[in-house]
Amino acid sequence: MLKIRAIDLFCGAGGLTRGLLDAGIEVVAGYDVDKACRYPYEHNNHPAVFKKKSVANVTGKQLAALYPPNCWRVLVGCAPCQPFSKYTQGAEAHKHDKWGLLYEFGRIVRGLMPDVVSMENVPELKRHKVYTDFHDKLVDLGYHVSAHKVYCPDYGIPQQRTRLVLFASLHGAISIIPKTHDEANYPTVRPAIGGLPALKAGEVFAGDPLHRTSSLSGTNLSRIRNSKPGGTWREWPHELVAVCHRSKTGKTYPSVYGRMEWDKPSPTVTTQFFGFGNGRFGHPEQDRAISLREGAVLQSFPPNYAFVKPDEAYCFKTIGRMIGNAVPVTLGAVIGKTITIHGGRHEN
């Protein structure tokens, strides 16, 4: 039987690695520079090992030594998407310190020549030269390449997240597995988080320390009490509307200070999802922003996925960054299933 092993670049807290494991692909190691990711990565994804090292300082030869003999070598990764996000536009995008990391990914591919490569990022990446260069390098190296714009609810993820997923194989054409859902049965917020214990703003559930919420000022408590699921701040009493939203330019941001809707997928979970004023992150009926655990569940992490050692403090900013930056676990499993099916077809 074909043995497939993977290494995860830019692994973060392990969303992509967890998905690959769920799909039956053993992950040898994950690389990231964020030391906070070591515990969640290793604790939840044994036997994968966390390597705190910049991808810029990794060589294909070094990675080759980590794979066992006689296996298909898979290299996956999600280069940090901040340079390519729709929130970082024009010339400013080129000034971002993470701009060159996709070139480093390509350099490692050339040095390792893995059997299969997969890269996940924001769809806006395709508009940039760095993507074209990465794609063309793979083709020049002899890879069969396909790229897919993936709407996460199409694969059972309860979140309106759209991602670019690229596959490249030395063994033949490779394409993402068929969608598992459509508009008639998209997963929604209600079955994802509706069963979690109720909390007030600033509270922590004793049975799960990750199920904790940020506090609200008196003004924001009044604002969320005047918010309806799917509504906007335009429906509030005038005195509650933020000064910046009363201007002509501010009126173009209706989704901040919003509540999610029970029977729709959630909005895209960002690194700031725990703050009511940072997007449509208000709970559908409780007067608070969603909890850290609820954000993780909407990112399809298992309900018991641990992000912090038992004796350490819970920092909203740090944990929010790990959750919001992650590849949704279920999308990781889709990537893994695509690779295992492809491997089965080309085993001989």
pTM metric for this prediction:
0.92
CB-based burial, 173-200: b 16+ in 10 Å, e otherwise: ebebbeeebeeeebbbbeebbeebeebe
SS3 assignment, position 47: coil
User: What is the rounded CA–CA span in Å between residue 208 and residue 71?
Assistant: 39
Q: What is the sign, positive or negative, of the torsion defined by CA atoms of 121, 127, 130, 133?
A: positive
Residue 50 lies in a domain: yes
Pairing of strands 72-77, 144-151: unpaired
Residue 68 lies in a domain: yes
Residue 267 lies in a domain: no
- Give the amino acid at 217: S
User: What is the rounded CA–CA span in Å between residue 168 and residue 83?
Assistant: 23
Tally of domains within the chain: 1
In CATH, what number is assigned to the domain containing residue 163? 3.40.50.150
Residue 332 lies in a domain: yes
* 78 catalytic per annotation: no
Residue 15 lies in a domain: yes
- Give the amino acid at 218: G
pLDDT tens digit sequence for 246-290: 665 545 556 678 899 999 999 999 999 999 988 899 999 999 999
Residue 236 lies in a domain: no
- Catalytic one of 11, 78, 81, 152: 81
Residues 213/288, Cβ–Cβ less than 8 Å: yes
Q: pLDDT band for position 13 (50/70/90)?
A: very high
User: What pLDDT, on the 0 to 100 scale, is given for residue 274?
Assistant: 97
User: What pLDDT, on the 0 to 100 scale, is given for residue 147?
Assistant: 98
pLDDT tens digit sequence for 142-156: 999 999 999 999 999
Mean of pLDDT values over 284-312? 97
Nearest to 199 by CA among 125, 283, 96: 283
Residue 235 lies in a domain: no
* Enclosing domain of residue 103: 4-183+326-345
Residues 229/242, Cβ–Cβ less than 8 Å: no
User: What is the rounded CA–CA span in Å between residue 240 and residue 219?
Assistant: 7
Residue 9 lies in a domain: yes
Pairing of strands 144-151, 49-52: unpaired
Nearest to 26 by CA among 83, 61, 76: 76
